[in-house]
């Protein structure tokens, strides 16, 4: 049986950075489920479908094949055979992913793929509903969080380092709005699983968080 670590938490809590590092140290694969929702969102944007057009999203969802491959240990997301890794990290795609992810038809398709990956490989998987819905039997569950201000500052620094002009207050407002949507949706809302360990990273360095999770694995 494979060993599965489930990591959930709001946007910007550091889930992907931490999960990627833990995966490398343990020799596990890292499954970034947000990237799958983002690939699906990119398909909708390209089809000129708006975030409110639920019927069109459901119909289009059947035409979007999202698959995952690992190349040199790095997760590559394919959308109908096209590597879309470099196209899914924009705010526009993130907002669209948040808008389409409450739709049960979208979730059903991606959750199936996530369960299959976890069943065949030792993995650390991050997302919003991993401990609660996708991998309820995971051997270790972590709920990773940080204050919205800390998360906004991290995003601000990331964008500034890339030379992208941005506004801290706007980023914080977007983060809070996305948290609200993710936590209050009807289907698989973001919440801490009862058996998940809460890790608040607001005052922790990346190294401290990684060390804490590796300790919990023991
Ligand atoms: O983690 P992220 O920002 O890449 O995720 C993008 C959006 O996808 C996020 O707003 C919520 C959604 N998502 C989800 O509903 N369930 C997951 N397991 C992962 C992401």
pLDDT digit string, tens, across residues 52-74: 999 999 999 999 999 999 998 88
- 3-state secondary structure (DSSP) of residue 7: strand
Cα pseudo-dihedral 117, 121, 122, 127, rounded to 10: -10
Q: Could you tell me if 48 and 93 are in contact, meaning their C-beta atoms sit under 8 angstroms apart?
A: no
Domain of residue 37: give its range. 4-217
Is any atom of ligand 1 closer than 6 Å to the C-beta of 101? yes
The pLDDT of residue 197 is 98
Cα pseudo-dihedral 138, 11, 215, 120, rounded to 10: 30
User: Domain of 209: which CATH number?
Assistant: 3.40.50.300
**161 CA to centre of ligand 1 in angstroms:** 24
Q: Is the pLDDT of residue 10 over 90?
A: yes
Q: Is the pLDDT of residue 193 over 90?
A: yes
Joined together, the tokens standing for residue 32 give 């970034």
Residue whose C-alpha is closest to residue 59's, from 49, 67, 69: 49
Q: Are strands 197-200 and 74-79 parallel, antiparallel or unpaired?
A: unpaired
Q: In testing the pocket of ligand 1, which one of 91, 102, 112, 128 has its CB within 8 Å of the most ligand atoms?
A: 128
Count of domains forming the chain? 1
pTM above 0.85, yes or no: yes
Calpha distance 12→63 (Å, rounded):
30
**97 CA to centre of ligand 1 in angstroms:** 7
Is any atom of ligand 1 closer than 6 Å to the C-beta of 143? no
- Mean pLDDT of all residues in 89-109: 93
């Amino acid at each position: 049986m494979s060993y599965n670590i489930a990591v959930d938490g709001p946007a910007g809590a550091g889930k992907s950075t931490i999960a990627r590092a833990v995966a490398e140290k343990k020799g596990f694969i890292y499954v970034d489920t947000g990237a799958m929702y983002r690939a699906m969102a990119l398909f909708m944007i390209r089809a000129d479908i708006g975030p409110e057009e639920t019927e069109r999203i459901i119909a289009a969802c059947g035409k979007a094949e999202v698959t995952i491959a690992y190349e040199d240990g790095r997760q590559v997301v394919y959308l109908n055979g096209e590597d879309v890794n470099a196209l899914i990290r924009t705010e526009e795609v993130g907002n669209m992913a948040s808008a389409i992810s409450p739709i049960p038809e979208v979730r059903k398709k991606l959750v199936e793929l996530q369960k299959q990956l976890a069943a065949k490989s030792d993995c650390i998987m991050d997302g919003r509903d991993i401990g609660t819905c996708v991998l309820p039997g995971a051997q270790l569950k972590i709920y990773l969080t940080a204050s919205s201000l800390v998360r906004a500052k991290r995003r601000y620094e990331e964008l500034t380092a890339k030379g992208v002009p941005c506004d801290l207050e706007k980023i914080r407002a977007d983060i809070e709005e996305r948290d609200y949507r993710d936590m209050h949706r009807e289907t698989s809302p973001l919440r801490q699983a009862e058996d998940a360990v809460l890790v608040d990273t607001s005052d922790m360095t990346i190294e401290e968080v990684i060390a804490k999770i590796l300790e919990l694995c023991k």
